[in-house]
Chains A and B, each alone.
Chain A
Amino acid sequence: MEASAPTAPRVFHLALVVGGDLLDPAGAKLGRVDDLIVRLGEDEYPPVTGLLATLAGRQVFVPADAIDEIDHGRVRLRVRRLDLQPFERRPQEVLLKKDMLDRQLINVDGARLVRSNEIELARLDGWYRVVGVDIGVRGLLRRLVPRPFARSVGTTGFLDWASVEPFTGHVPTVRLRVPHPKLARLHPAQLADLVEAASHDEGEEILGAVGDDPELEADVFEELEPRHQREFVDDRTDADVAEVLARMESDDAADLVRELPDERRDEVVRLLPIVQRRRVRALLGYDPATAGGLMSPEFVCVFSQATPEEAINRVRTTQASAEAVAWIFVMNASQRLAGAVALVDLLRADADLRVGDIADVPQSITTEAEVEEIARLMMDFDLTVVPVVDGDNRLIGVVTVDDVLELVLPRGWRRQFGLFGE
């Protein structure tokens, strides 16, 4: 029997180990085994790093090096004296019975969620490790029948740990520290199915695990049903949503933007990279040849009481393009557009003045303005930037001259200059 052990190690059932006796090296009973501790992460088969036991009514931690042998119904120690220390979780450590048994797991090979009816252990490479879980009904049955009969109940639904990815979000302190490398084996559509089938927190954990690969995360998002997309978008900041949207196909991205609450939509679109932002805008129904499709939401707008220096500081720190900040816009106390001033005029302005004093009354347009109208306005008033306002005269974007030129330049010219050659 023992000779064949290296090739086919004996498998122990967790449920028959916990609740068993804790014995000293001589075989005398010291207490009861409550739970086994394993470390997830690096090893293919997570090693048992210790156990929890109750000795004389107190729960104590027994480190792995004090354990001699683990078997059904008993654990024998190799030391006579135990250093009685309370258990403190170290990173990546989980309690097998409390945190893993009866919980949902991902069967990576089947790309589906399963429930662990039993956790299987074996001695591998000199130490006790988790080798798999039992997802069959017999694993459950074994835990329901009296112990003397339990050992004769076989295993029908064994799943190798190599195919298992556990959820650890419910385990305190382990959160975010256990990588889920096996998920990378799955197709984005399979991951999306898992996210949809799992609870919200478990879904977050899956998305968090694939989040290291933004392309994959975006692919998974594309595959999610709108209802679930919304669920996960709600928890993310505008910047995070934009980051995911940036990598999605633009039509999927536009669909997701439509699902966003009104108050978030503009901000999220504003944070998209320019190419994706234009595509999304176009798909959202803005005609690309109108101000709504052409505008960039990145500009500098200050209150009229600001000093020129403050306004210039805003220009220094903004991400907006050089063309867009050629003009700085001014709003009144109720955030309505009240003026426009060229950056150059601002640089030359007296430091004692307020921006409101040097700004001119602005020429503004709405999102429906057509490109010809914008071009005419730019020519008539010598503008390189035209502000776009909403129905309440609030600034929502700017159209810059370069974008207008792109559309109004006659086709032949483009070829000649080779700038926009098609």
Chain B
Amino acid sequence: MTRTIGRQARLIAVVAVIGPGLIAANAGNDAGGIATYSSVGARYGYALLWMMVVITVSLVVVQEMAARMGAVTGKGLAELIREEYGVRWSMFATASVLIANLGICISEFVGIGAALGLAGIPVQISVPIAAVAVWLLVVRGSYKTAERVFVLMTIPFFAYPIAAILAHPDWGSVGKSIVEPHFQFNSGYIFLFIATAGTTITPFMQIYVQSAVVERGIGPEQLKAERIEVTSGSIFANLVASFIIIATGATLFVHGHRMVNDAADAARALEPVAGRFAEVLFGIGLLGASLLAAAILPITAAYVIAETFGFEKGIKHRPREAPVFVAVITVLIAIGTVVAIIPGVPVIELLVAVQVVNGILLPVTLFFVWRLSASKELMGEYANGPVFNVLAGLTVFATSSLSVLLLAVTFL
């Protein structure tokens, strides 16, 4: 009797804390992410699935550190970087986050336009409406409402597992690919390998999860529940990503349709092999993902600006209370919208540029996350333990190397 009550209470605690970790990780399954995962599935089938397991572990390690720092210090990452590493590093991080997030934000609105374009709605109509809706939710809604809607926005992700099942994959070889590492030494494979790591672990995720944990007021006493939340949220996000690979691997790869240019392209390509329904599901997933990320990226940029310069921050505030915070969000959404509806904007070149900025930023962010969360002075008893710290260091090193490698590959 008491045991069931205890278990229920624990479950309620976990459900009540659902939010930052789930939102941060799933915002990573955005338009760019879906395009990358679809390309992986279309070109190499299930061959890269084993890698998703490794990436998931890395993502959990990194996100847990950021969430723990938020809970223990009550401060955002940008704030801590400024306090502990000085104004130059903090300016560098702020500037890169702003540029990177602006770029990703544009790609999200492109994604929204593409998803609704599948339903025949022109971007000149769909994108501005979506932009206004996102803006109203973030700026006018309370923190609770906004967060609930963000969580609800992850529901369309369930479209991918369904699409994957509809695509009738050979589950046996799927299972085999997950447990059996497989590597090809050609530039296309390596590029997609690195791009997948880069799109799954992105700097904005750590920044968002830490600042949102702070804004939500999660303290050390709720750390256990928040760790579970971050872990399950990250696993869910990467399961979704894996199902995208399976869905496209079972259809496009098997049918020899190996080239996918963007996420909408992947959806369209699905239709002849998996039916109209699969295309619709893919489109719904893309729309939900792009909307979620279109809200999270401007918020993350605004957190960083406000934390670095000491302005009022938080989506709980009205424009008058936190003018700079709201202004940053507004500007990012506005630029994203305008660029997405202008015909002839070189979206692919833009995405490459964004990837470069993110590639420079990621090692920096991860290094700070790792060092700050290991600091006894800052974290006290909640600092990384010795074994975890080595594991985290390796993760940071490996992920950073991949992102530097991506830079090299992009420029060569």
Cα–Cα, bound, A198→B217 (Å): 11
Instruction: Contacts A102-B82, A144-B91, A231-B217 given; indicate if A199 touches B74 (C-beta within 8 A).
Output: yes
How near does chain B come to A264, taking the closest CB pair, in angstroms? Answer: 13
**B217–A104 contact, CB under 8 A?**
no
Which of A135-143, A247-255, A267-275 lies at the interface? A135-143
- Nearest A residue to B214 via CB reads A199
**A135–B310 contact, CB under 8 A?**
yes
B219 at the interface (CB under 8 A from A): yes
For window 107-124 of chain A, which residues contact chain B by CB distance below 8 Å? 112-115, 117
Instruction: Contacts A137-B309, A144-B88 given; indicate if A201 touches B74 (C-beta within 8 A).
Output: yes
A29 at the interface (CB under 8 A from B): no
How near does chain B come to A128, taking the closest CB pair, in angstroms? Answer: 23
How near does chain A come to B104, taking the closest CB pair, in angstroms? Answer: 26
Which residue of A115, A202, A228 is within 8 Å of B310 (Cβ)?
Answer: A115
**A200–B87 contact, CB under 8 A?**
no
B221 at the interface (CB under 8 A from A): yes
B318 at the interface (CB under 8 A from A): no
A234 at the interface (CB under 8 A from B): yes
Instruction: Contacts A115-B310, A135-B310, A231-B217 given; indicate if A199 touches B87 (C-beta within 8 A).
Output: no
Cα–Cα, bound, A200→B214 (Å): 9
B117 at the interface (CB under 8 A from A): no
For window 190-206 of chain A, which residues contact chain B by CB distance below 8 Å? 197-203
A236 at the interface (CB under 8 A from B): no
- Nearest A residue to B311 via CB reads A115
- State the majority secondary structure of interface residues on B: helix
B122 at the interface (CB under 8 A from A): no
- Chain B residues with CB under 8 Å of A117's CB are 87, 310
B188 at the interface (CB under 8 A from A): no
For window 209-237 of chain B, which residues contact chain A by CB distance below 8 Å? 214, 217, 219, 221
Cα–Cα, bound, A234→B88 (Å): 37
When each residue 93-115 of chain A gets 1 if its CB lies under 8 Å from chain B and 0 otherwise, what string results?
00000000011100000001111
- Chain B residues with CB under 8 Å of A143's CB are 87-88
Cα–Cα, bound, A278→B87 (Å): 55
- Chain A residues with CB under 8 Å of B214's CB are 199
**B73–A199 contact, CB under 8 A?**
yes
A348 at the interface (CB under 8 A from B): no
Instruction: Contacts A104-B310, A201-B74 given; indicate if A227 touches B217 (C-beta within 8 A).
Output: yes
When each residue 38-63 of chain A gets 1 if its CB lies under 8 Å from chain B and 0 otherwise, what string results?
00000000000000000000000000
B75 at the interface (CB under 8 A from A): yes
How near does chain B come to A380, taking the closest CB pair, in angstroms? Answer: 36
**B309–A200 contact, CB under 8 A?**
no
**B83–A102 contact, CB under 8 A?**
yes
**A140–B83 contact, CB under 8 A?**
no
- Chain A residues with CB under 8 Å of B91's CB are 140, 144
Interface range, B side? 10 to 19
**B87–A140 contact, CB under 8 A?**
yes
Instruction: Contacts A102-B83, A102-B86 given; indicate if A113 touches B219 (C-beta within 8 A).
Output: no
- Chain B residues with CB under 8 Å of A234's CB are 219, 221
- Nearest B residue to A136 via CB reads B309
How near does chain A come to B75, taking the closest CB pair, in angstroms? Answer: 5
Cα–Cα, bound, A103→B83 (Å): 6
How near does chain B come to A154, taking the closest CB pair, in angstroms? Answer: 18
How near does chain A come to B107, taking the closest CB pair, in angstroms? Answer: 30
- Chain A residues with CB under 8 Å of B87's CB are 102, 117, 140, 143-144
How near does chain A come to B12, taking the closest CB pair, in angstroms? Answer: 14
- Nearest A residue to B216 via CB reads A227
Cα–Cα, bound, A309→B286 (Å): 78
Cα–Cα, bound, A113→B221 (Å): 25
- Chain A residues with CB under 8 Å of B217's CB are 227-228, 231
- Chain A residues with CB under 8 Å of B310's CB are 104, 113-115, 117, 135
For window 68-111 of chain B, which residues contact chain A by CB distance below 8 Å? 73-75, 82-83, 86-88, 90-91
- Chain A residues with CB under 8 Å of B73's CB are 199-201
Cα–Cα, bound, A351→B150 (Å): 71
- Nearest B residue to A105 via CB reads B310
- Nearest A residue to B72 via CB reads A200
**A202–B309 contact, CB under 8 A?**
no
Cα–Cα, bound, A103→B82 (Å): 8
- Chain B residues with CB under 8 Å of A199's CB are 73-75, 214
How near does chain A come to B102, taking the closest CB pair, in angstroms? Answer: 20
- Could you list which residues of chain A lie within 8 angstroms of chain B, going by C-beta atoms? 102-104, 112-115, 117, 135, 137, 140, 143-144, 197-203, 227-228, 231, 234
Given A201-B73, A234-B219, 20 more A-B residue pairs with CB atoms under 8 Å apart are A102-B86, A102-B90, A112-B312, A114-B310, A115-B82, A117-B310, A140-B309, A144-B88, A144-B91, A197-B312, A198-B74, A199-B73, A199-B74, A199-B75, A199-B214, A200-B74, A201-B74, A203-B74, A231-B217, A234-B221
- Could you list which residues of chain B lie within 8 angstroms of chain A, going by C-beta atoms? 73-75, 82-83, 86-88, 90-91, 214, 217, 219, 221, 309-310, 312
3 tightest A-B CB contacts, nearest first: A115-B310, A199-B74, A200-B74
What are 22 sample pairs from A and B whose C-beta atoms fall under 8 A apart?
A102-B86, A102-B87, A103-B83, A115-B82, A135-B310, A140-B91, A140-B309, A143-B88, A144-B88, A144-B91, A199-B73, A199-B75, A199-B214, A200-B73, A200-B219, A201-B73, A202-B74, A203-B74, A227-B217, A231-B217, A231-B219, A234-B219
